[in-house]
Chains A and B, each alone.
Chain A
């Protein structure tokens, strides 16, 4: 059987480390979760040195100390082509998001950790994809840095902050009130792209 092995980073934590088998749409994938220490920025800001691997209790949902390294092994159905999967990174991101959301949802349900963040495609940074069959693993694509979704949102134009510098300063200095309709529009877009189907 051929599998696609996807390695990715999520910029926060949402589960304990370990291996999880998750069944979705008739396909059982294996998810390996590892927490990677990420506190250099915090150490520099606070001027302290954190030694070892501090345990954040109950967890670290904002990624202040740790990020999550994930390896997902997705078995392919007999009629599926590995080549088509690895060429469609956006689709692979979506499938990974579905598995990780399922994991998050179940952990939240069982632990009552209501603050656990739902994972969206935007949170997924794939850095390696491989195929694996009876002959072993083969690298499929060399990877770039950054998020595949980027910040390309079609409904409204997105600006560089520098291009709005004068307007930002003017609003901040004058204390102007922002139109509620704009805030609501931006909220709904944010919910939509985080796949929060109840609020969008």
Chain B
């Protein structure tokens, strides 16, 4: 769970920094980020980093697949009656989150 929250906070921090780098005041940058985060995290990621791609392109995108895996495992943890992720599955989530973070950093 904490690893998922860390990714959400990372995206928020990244987008805030990017809006500030584009010349916005900190308050404006925060408002722009709030607008992007208005809804599910899935939608935020899509709007922030995949908006120029078609649905088909997104589905086969390596980072999107990792993001989907991270999201699925989070759902398993928050709904433990469905499935408890194994050690290896959880470790995979760490690797995926690191890959997603590294990929986002290449966009700055």
Binding site for B on A (CB under 8 A): 154-156, 179-182, 184-185, 187-189, 191-192, 195, 197-200
Q: List 27 A-B contacts (CB under 8 A).
A: A155-B91, A155-B95, A156-B98, A179-B9, A179-B13, A180-B9, A181-B9, A181-B12, A181-B13, A182-B6, A184-B2, A184-B5, A184-B6, A184-B9, A185-B6, A187-B2, A187-B6, A188-B3, A189-B94, A191-B2, A192-B3, A192-B90, A192-B91, A192-B94, A198-B1, A199-B1, A200-B3
B binding-site residues for A, Cβ under 8 Å: 1-3, 5-7, 9-10, 12-13, 84, 87, 90-91, 94-95, 97-98
Known contacts A184-B2, A187-B2, A200-B2; A155/B94 CB under 8 A: yes
Known: A197-B84, A200-B1. A181 touches B94 (CB 8 A): no
Supplied contacts A155-B94, A182-B6, 12 more A-B pairs, CB within 8 Å: A156-B98, A179-B10, A181-B10, A181-B12, A184-B5, A185-B3, A185-B6, A188-B94, A189-B3, A197-B90, A199-B1, A199-B2
Assuming A179-B13, A181-B10, is B98 touching A155 (CB within 8 A)?
A: yes
Nearest CB in chain B to that of A185: its residue:
B6
Residues of B contacting A: mostly: helix
**What 8 pairs across the A-B complex have the smallest Cβ distances?**
A184-B6, A181-B10, A188-B2, A188-B3, A181-B9, A185-B6, A155-B94, A180-B9
Chain A contacts for B95, CB-based, 8 A: 154-155
Q: How far is the CB of B77 from chain A (nearest CB, A)?
A: 8
| Chain A residues, Cβ within 8 Å of B90 | 192, 197, 200
Task: Tell me, in angstroms, the Cα distance from A179 to B91 when the chains sit together.
Answer: 23
Partner of A188, one of B6, B12, B84, B87: B6
Cβ–Cβ < 8 Å partners of A181 in chain B? 6-7, 9-10, 12-13
Closest Cβ of chain B: how far from A109's Cβ, in Å? 20
Chain A residues whose CB sits within 8 angstroms of the CB of B91 once the complex forms: 155, 192
Question: In the complex, A149→B90 CA distance in Å?
Answer: 18
Bound together, the chains give a CA A195 to CA B91 distance in angstroms of 11
Q: Which residue of B lies closest to A189 (CB)?
A: B94
Contacts of A191 in B (CB 8 A): 2
Specify which chain A residues have a CB less than 8 angstroms from the CB of B9 in the assembled complex.
179-181, 184
Q: Which residues of B contact A182 (CB under 8 A)?
A: 6
